[in-house]
A = this chain, B = another copy of it.
Amino acid sequence: MASYPITMMKMKLNDCSPPSTAAARLLPFLGRHYIHFRSSMGPFQNPSFPRTIVARSAFSFSSVVTAAMASEASVKVIDGKKVAKDIRDEITAEISRMKDSIGVVPGLAVILVGERKDSATYVRNKKKACEAVGIKSYEVCLPENSTEEEVLKYISGFNDDTMVHGILVQLPLPSHMNEQKILNAVCIEKDVDGFHPLNIGRLAMRGREPLFVPCTPKGCIELLHRYNVEIKGKKAVVIGRSNIVGMPAALLLQREDATVSIVHSRTKNPEEITRQADIIISAVGQPNMVRGSWIKPGAVIIDVGINPVEDTTNPRGYRLVGDVCYEEASKVASAITPVPGGVGPMTIAMLLSNTLLSAKRIHNFK
């Protein structure tokens, strides 16, 4: 799974204040201009960050608050933390059954190059999550100045290792390395990230099945399933078209017979298009970009963005918000994922799920 540099957004506490003020700050590009999304989607998915929901600010929405809060009471909060725990419990049981039955436990190898603190944290969290469900974790930490050949040598070793069923290369790699070349070296049967073009192609094609579905979009759809949100025949809008979230999420929704539109940085009227959606998946990494006015009443919202914004009232000096203005959205939507505690915990759960899937497939265990 990719990790990216954290860009701290300077924002006041009431970052969901009415569009007249907030939009000017957040969206200088509203109106006839384009939205300039970040070019790479960088969901900030560090589970060690506080999981409390953004505190409601007392000074925004003055008169609207009472009515809005009443209607908000009816919004269903999609509890990704709870669903992820359920999934981890199911995985634990399956792994135990597999071990008892054929004496095999799934193995996940992670390759980390360099000393980035955020990457080290991700890798540590993956390891902990693996251990908790009974997946054996293999870790290689290489210095920043390693060569491509060294990384490729380890990948090749894990490709051949029958104890390893999934291989992850922690991103970003040092700039002197060719990311595409290195990722392509992971054999497709162990590419639990599901980012291999062959997987994406199969995902796009009717009648074909990918070996693995990329973790974060798989987590989004799993949340919809577990909350019994009907997808077939619904209008879905995916905001963002990254290779790791937006694009595969759109393909997944289409596989489930939604009518999908993809909104991106060159879309001229994102608000108007988004407002038509029964289901919104947002994955752009722009704090509070999707406002209440973008949302059709009753829509279901999956917010993939996990964006740190400055918050001097928080001991850490920041807090996390999604791409969707939760305060406003929860007054309009029928269901919504919080940030944090929505899609975030699902990503690692899906990685564990893909690793188990791979082990079962390789050992032909039903």
* Residue pair A34, B202 in contact (C-beta under 8 Å): no
Stretch from A61-69, A138-146, A255-263, A353-361 contacting the other chain? A255-263
Task: Tell me the residues in window 200-232 of chain A with beta carbons closer than 8 Å to chain B beta carbons.
Answer: 200-208, 232
CA distance A206 to B38 in the complex (A): 14
**A268 and chain B: residue at smallest CB distance:** B233
CA distance A162 to B362 in the complex (A): 36
The verdict on A126 contacting chain B, using a C-beta distance below 8 Å, is no
Option from B198, B254, B257, B264 in Cβ contact (under 8 Å) with A197: B198
CA distance A197 to B232 in the complex (A): 24
Given the known interface contacts A257-B266, A259-B266, A260-B261, the answer about A202 and B204 at a Cβ–Cβ threshold of 8 Å is: no
The verdict on A196 contacting chain B, using a C-beta distance below 8 Å, is yes
The verdict on A251 contacting chain B, using a C-beta distance below 8 Å, is yes
CB distance from A37 to the nearest CB of B (A): 12
The verdict on A243 contacting chain B, using a C-beta distance below 8 Å, is yes
Option from B34, B206, B262 in Cβ contact (under 8 Å) with A260: B262
* Residue pair B273, A259 in contact (C-beta under 8 Å): yes
CB distance from A126 to the nearest CB of B (A): 24
* Residue pair B266, A233 in contact (C-beta under 8 Å): yes
CB distance from A282 to the nearest CB of B (A): 15
The verdict on A286 contacting chain B, using a C-beta distance below 8 Å, is no
CA distance A46 to B259 in the complex (A): 31
The verdict on A247 contacting chain B, using a C-beta distance below 8 Å, is yes
CB neighbours of A233 from chain B (8 A): 34, 266-268
Interface string of A268-299 (1 = CB under 8 A from B): 10000100000000000000000000000000
CB neighbours of A268 from chain B (8 A): 233, 235, 259
Option from B207, B247, B273 in Cβ contact (under 8 Å) with A205: B247
Interface string of A113-151 (1 = CB under 8 A from B): 000000000000000000000000000000000000000
The verdict on A241 contacting chain B, using a C-beta distance below 8 Å, is yes
CB neighbours of A337 from chain B (8 A): none
The verdict on A14 contacting chain B, using a C-beta distance below 8 Å, is no
Q: A197, A199, A207, A264 — which one has the most chain B CB atoms within 10 A of its CB?
A: A197
CA distance A205 to B41 in the complex (A): 13
**A205 and chain B: residue at smallest CB distance:** B243
Interface string of A169-204 (1 = CB under 8 A from B): 000000000001000000000000000111111111
User: Can you list 17 residue pairs at the A/B interface with Cβ under 8 Å?
Assistant: A197-B204, A197-B205, A197-B208, A200-B200, A200-B201, A200-B204, A201-B204, A204-B247, A205-B243, A206-B243, A233-B268, A235-B268, A235-B273, A254-B262, A257-B264, A259-B264, A260-B262
